[in-house]
Amino acid sequence: MYEIAPSVSIDAPPEAVWAYLVDVEGWWVDSNPEHESIEILSGEDELGDGTRLRVRESIAGVPGVAEGEVTEFDPGRRVTWDAPGARYRYFGLPLVVDEGVSWELAPSDGGTELTARVWASFPDSLVGRIVEWSFEHVLDGVERDYEHAMAELEYIKCELES
């Protein structure tokens, strides 16, 4: 398992950052070239408690599809999306990974500190341990996932400050 927590300071009030963040269909695909699509499966217009999502993206060049739901929703402060059983294809091998993200907002000097706490847990099997080691040491996947999340945060910052 690994966890990362990149953060960015945004010159906008938390209310504006929150409103932008929960309209995930409006920004997520454009925020990173590794993003392919996002779909709210449960019918809402924006993120809320229990919202179900499907995302198609690559992490460190490894393509995958993750379906999950919002498991924590604290308006204006935090939204957490968990995707147990995200499916990736690693060098042609199917692999299931438990993953998630928690976006956290905190007021900071008239603006907002936005943090994306991202985690992933590989299967507890021989293949899972080999893939995890390869992801971390061959693909530099943890660092590349940090850069992936940071690209999203920088995109949000740029959009809200322009």
**Topology of the domain covering 2-161:** Alpha-D-Glucose-1,6-Bisphosphate; Chain A, domain 4 (3.30.530)
| Average pLDDT score over residue span 39-64 | 96
Q: 103 has which bridge partners?
A: 79, 116
Give the model's pLDDT for residue 59: 94
Tell me the C-alpha distance between 56 and 18, whole Å: 23
Q: In 123-134, which positions are buried (b, 16+ CB within 10 angstroms) versus exposed (e)?
A: eeeeeeeebbee
The per-residue pLDDT for range 52-102, each reduced to its tens digit, is 999 999 999 999 999 999 999 999 999 999 999 999 998 888 889 999 999
pLDDT digits (tens, 9 = 90+) for 16-37: 999 999 999 999 999 999 999 9
pTM reported for the whole predicted model = 0.94
Spans of all domains in the chain = 2-161
Per-residue pLDDT, 97: 95
User: Per-residue DSSP letters for 24-91?
Assistant: HHHHTGGG-TTEEEEEESS--SS--TT-EEEEEEEETTEEEEEEEEEEEEETTTEEEEEEEEEEEEET
**Mean pLDDT taken over the chain:** 96
